[in-house]
Chain A
Amino acid sequence: MNIFRLAGDMTHLVSVLVLLLKIHTIKSCAGISLKTQELYALVFTTRYLDLFTDYISLYNTVMKLIFLGSSFSIVWYIRRHKIVRRSYDKDQDTFRHYFIVLPCLVLALLIHHKFTFKEVMWTFSLYLEAVAILPQLVLLQRTRNIDNLTGQYVFLLGAYRALYILNWIYRHYTEPHYVHWITWIAGIVQTLLYADFFYYYFQSWKNNVKLQLPA
């Protein structure tokens, strides 16, 4: 464990808890893409298949349970909660899951480190996580209004992966055998996807104006 990875995990944890708290407190999911939340639940499910088979550390197991629990809770709130579901904008949140899931699945079947079920699922979860934010970014551009909690959520989500890249650089230099190019590429693609959002987020923060994404 290094400071970059810990900071990344904490940033990731805060981002999902901020979102869960927002939905639970104001009983609204306005501006939140259910599609993205469902994709994240799928990311955690396919990535943490080793939850009960390989024990790495208490921290690792606890964090996996928190991420799984929070992502499924968020999906449950938006789908099932009698008040929250009313604020879900299903006409705007129309990104097709399979446009994202299928290419990631095909890519994982083609490009992986080992052709085993767990390894292909793990690789699939890396590719999926890189693009899972797309429905949320599309929704933000369509609705054009970004309440600052949603803006913070997306920002923290991007920041966590950027911190992970620093973690991979650190591990690359401190653990000689540690080279995992698939992780690198998926992580860099993911962070680049956030780059333009970061740009507009900082612009709005610097000029102290409401965050607006160009149409």
Chain B
Amino acid sequence: KGQPQSHDEL
């Protein structure tokens, strides 16, 4: 998956 964990969160 592209984003490491929780880096896709604000």
Contact = CB atoms under 8 A, between A and B. Distances in A.
Q: Is the interface of A mostly helix, strand, loop or mixed?
A: helix
Interface size classification for chain B: under 10
A54 B8 CA distance: 10
Interface of A: 5, 9, 12, 50, 54, 56, 60, 63-64, 67, 113, 122, 164, 167-168, 171, 177-180, 183
Q: Is the interface of B mostly helix, strand, loop or mixed?
A: loop
Contact of B4 (A64, A113, A168): A113
B7 A50 contact: yes
Contacts of A179: 5
Contacts of B10: 9, 12, 60, 63-64, 67
B5 to A, nearest CB: 4
A183 B5 CA distance: 9
A183 B6 contact: yes
Contacts of B1: 177
A95 B7 CA distance: 30
A171 B6 CA distance: 9
B5 A180 contact: yes
B3 A178 contact: no
B6 to A, nearest CB: 5
Contacts of B3: 54, 56
A169 to B, nearest CB: 13
A183 B10 CA distance: 12
Nearest to A181: B5
A187 to B, nearest CB: 10
